[in-house]
Structure 1
Amino acid sequence: MKNKIKLVVWGDHWHPLFQSSLEFILANKMSSVEVCAIITSPLEKNRTGWSRPVLSKKDLFRRAIKRIYSSLKPKDKSFLGKWGTIEQQLKQRQIPQYSPTKSELTTSDFTSLLKNLKADLFLFVAYTEYVPPKIFNIAPVSLNIHPSLLPHYRGSHPIVWALKNGETTIGVTSFKMHEELDAGDIFEARSFVISDDQSFDSIIEQACVETKTLVENIITCASNDTLKFHSQDHTLATRYYPPTESDYKVNWNTWHASRFFWTDKISPGSIWTIVNGNRVVLTHIKKQPGAAGVPGKILKFENGSVYLATAEGTISVAKIESGVCLRTNAQRVLKRLGFSVGDVLQ
């Protein structure tokens, strides 16, 4: 067994998986690990003194996802933590923190800095910038933790896409860094079951719990030289990208009830469609008992909501917003637009 492994942790400072993992490492004070540096997304100081990422135009959706994550309010408020508190701990322990921009990441100065750390392990947790092999190969071992059950849901926002696709089991996977994104050999994967009555924040909490277990297992095995890997089945790989506005336009022929439900739960006010030439936004969506029917068919109006058939299952929509009227109950809007039971929204 090594006396102590030197660890560098990489991650986006606002991301709960990174925050909880770092809190776990700092709180446990593992005798087998020395945290020699933290690498985060670029930071700047705003006028209140809080750190925040420097965002480019392509980061607009990332900012929206950040708002979702940072709005989480679990019962144990220390669970996800605040980055300011973590920064204080890093300063108290004299652990250096670096926040290179994308262009700085591959410079000779930053490369030399990483080499001088002489780390045994680079651990990436929710670090969203692409890191080339010449950087992650500086350490003898570089592992990443991705919030999906690889090889499924490689790429961006895997939890969001898994929920929209109606998955009932999701998880987190630790694997070797690889030139191809999320394609490296797997160390360990941990899964958990989700249900419709959960909130998005409770699902993130579960992912954080499983991620901390992965972190502990990685450090334990790395310190004992017992890390073992198996290759991914690349024929099963699926890849996803940051959603665009068109991804939120209803496709009545393919969208199932889970997609309506979770998309509205995660990104309320984002689902839209065209009705009688008017763009309308559907909100306050719930899954209801009922088999699939003609997609978009109005099954009934009840207590201001409209019940609609989907490609798989039934949903109720309580609120609709359109150019004709501000957000109001769906029954009133659709009747004003001339719809009745049996009509089909297409």
Structure 2
Amino acid sequence: RAIELGIDFIQIEKFDHSFFDKFVELEFDGVVVVSFGKILPERIFKLTTARWLNVHPSLLPRYRGPTPIISALLNGDKVSGVSIIEVVPEVDAGGIYAQVKFGVEEDDNRDSLEQKSIKFGKSLLMTVLDLIENENLNSYPQDEESVIYSHKITKEDLKINWDSSAAEIVNKIRAFSLRPGAYCLWKGLRIKILKASVPGGTASNAYLDKLKFDENEKNGLVVEADKKTGILIKCNKNEMVKIEKLQPQGRKVISSADFINGYRLEAGENFE
């Protein structure tokens, strides 16, 4: 995209002598870091007097680190936001210039929350840059006693544990949807679960009360597999998760009704 727009850029693979030689030749008033994914070496800050800003998709000091959006969804947060901070050697620890908050809806997932962060973050960044240019904005320190860190995600984190609560399972599905996708196994087939919910409401509860199953059954039990009702899976404390969208390994994303039709899923089987 930079090439199309005629904008100078440096492709960074590693911070070697070649990079620093190119960096010192640049002329700029400020640097904005967004989803960079690398720790900046201290040397780089000594090569310019420009102001360094970081656009971070969380309400710092909550969720410093690499996965703030995923962490917000995993924890079922109802509010998230974007922080614009000073860049310092310690990760995401710089003073805060400004923050913006927005709601996290029940149907938000990783993709939709990323889009919200971009939308609100872009507007906030332009405001901050204008205020800094006019010398009308200073930063304030983060509350170190309130720091919460986010962590790198491993392959093991993507596996659904049906011994968890219904809310925890649904939050995991939201946090990894649509990519890389939380998954489970069914008859040895790896299946990504991309949308799910916790059944609720008076009508739904009355229906669930009528379902007959042994409370000692293993979690992951397919309690119901009906084209109208959908797929209901037993989890911790006999709670249930309603599966709405799935992606069998090597296949496209399909609805629960299409999965029931195409794969002949039946009540009494197990997701693992």
Instruction: Identify whether the pair has TM-score above 0.5, normalized to the shorter chain.
Output: yes
Aligned to 2:219: 296
Displacement of 1:310: 4.6
Aligned to 1:258: 170
In structure 1, runs of 5+ residues without a counterpart are 1-82, 340-344
- Amino acid of the residue matched to residue 123 of structure 1? V
The answer to whether 1:187 aligns with 2:97 is: yes
Deviation >4 Å, runs of 4+: 198-201, 310-313, 318-322, 330-337
Q: Provide the secondary structure at the position in 2 that maps to 1:101.
A: coil
Aligned to 1:133: 42
The answer to whether 1:245 aligns with 2:176 is: no
Aligned to 1:115: 24
The answer to whether 1:88 aligns with 2:4 is: yes
Whole-angstrom CA distance in 2 between matches of 1:118 and 1:309: 58
Contact 1:269–1:281 (CA<8 Å) still a contact in 2? no
Whole-angstrom CA distance in 1 between matches of 2:268 and 2:241: 21
Displacement of 1:132: 1.2
Contact 1:282–1:320 (CA<8 Å) still a contact in 2? yes
Q: Provide the secondary structure at the position in 2 that maps to 1:98.
A: coil
Aligned to 1:329: 260
Q: How many residues align?
A: 242
Cα distance change, pair 246–118 in 1 and its aligned pair in 2 (3 A): same
- Amino acid of the residue matched to residue 119 of structure 2? V
Displacement of 1:250: 2.6
Decide which of 130, 150, 159 is 1:220's aligned counterpart: 130
Aligned to 2:64: 154
Whole-angstrom CA distance in 2 between matches of 1:224 and 1:311: 58
Q: Provide the secondary structure at the position in 1 that maps to 2:92.
A: coil
Cα distance change, pair 307–97 in 1 and its aligned pair in 2 (3 A): same
Q: Provide the secondary structure at the position in 2 that maps to 1:316.
A: strand
Displacement of 1:249: 2.1
Percent same amino acid among aligned pairs?
A: 22
Whole-angstrom CA distance in 1 between matches of 2:122 and 2:194: 34
RMSD between superposed Cα atoms in Å: 3.6
Cα distance change, pair 217–155 in 1 and its aligned pair in 2 (3 A): same
In structure 2, runs of 5+ residues without a counterpart are 206-214, 250-257
Aligned to 2:232: 306
Decide which of 143, 157, 165 is 1:233's aligned counterpart: 143
Q: Provide the secondary structure at the position in 2 that maps to 1:286.
A: strand
1:87-120 deviations in Å (ceiling 9; x for gaps): 322x1xxx4211132143xx2x533443343433
Contact 2:174–2:194 (CA<8 Å) still a contact in 1? no
Displacement of 1:335: 4.7
Aligned to 2:115: 205
Whole-angstrom CA distance in 2 between matches of 1:88 and 1:102: 24
Displacement of 1:131: 0.9
Contact 1:166–1:258 (CA<8 Å) still a contact in 2? no
Cα distance change, pair 136–252 in 1 and its aligned pair in 2 (3 A): farther
Whole-angstrom CA distance in 1 between matches of 2:39 and 2:23: 16
Displacement of 1:192: 0.8
Contact 1:173–1:186 (CA<8 Å) still a contact in 2? yes
Cα distance change, pair 332–308 in 1 and its aligned pair in 2 (3 A): farther
Q: Provide the secondary structure at the position in 2 that maps to 1:148.
A: coil
- Amino acid of the residue matched to residue 260 of structure 2? N
Displacement of 1:247: 0.4
Whole-angstrom CA distance in 1 between matches of 2:11 and 2:248: 42
Displacement of 1:126: 1.8
Displacement of 1:271: 1.6
- Amino acid of the residue matched to residue 316 of structure 1? K
Decide which of 242, 251, 254 is 1:316's aligned counterpart: 242
Cα distance change, pair 174–137 in 1 and its aligned pair in 2 (3 A): farther
Displacement of 1:209: 1.8
Displacement of 1:288: 2.8
Aligned to 1:175: 85
Q: Provide the secondary structure at the position in 2 that maps to 1:271.
A: strand
Aligned to 1:99: 11
Aligned to 2:255: none
Contact 1:165–1:258 (CA<8 Å) still a contact in 2? no
Displacement of 1:261: 3.5
Aligned to 1:270: 182
Whole-angstrom CA distance in 1 between matches of 2:163 and 2:235: 10
Displacement of 1:227: 2.9
TM-score computed with the length of structure 2 as normaliser: 0.72
Cα distance change, pair 100–263 in 1 and its aligned pair in 2 (3 A): closer
- Amino acid of the residue matched to residue 199 of structure 2? P
Aligned to 1:142: 52
- Amino acid of the residue matched to residue 122 of structure 2? K
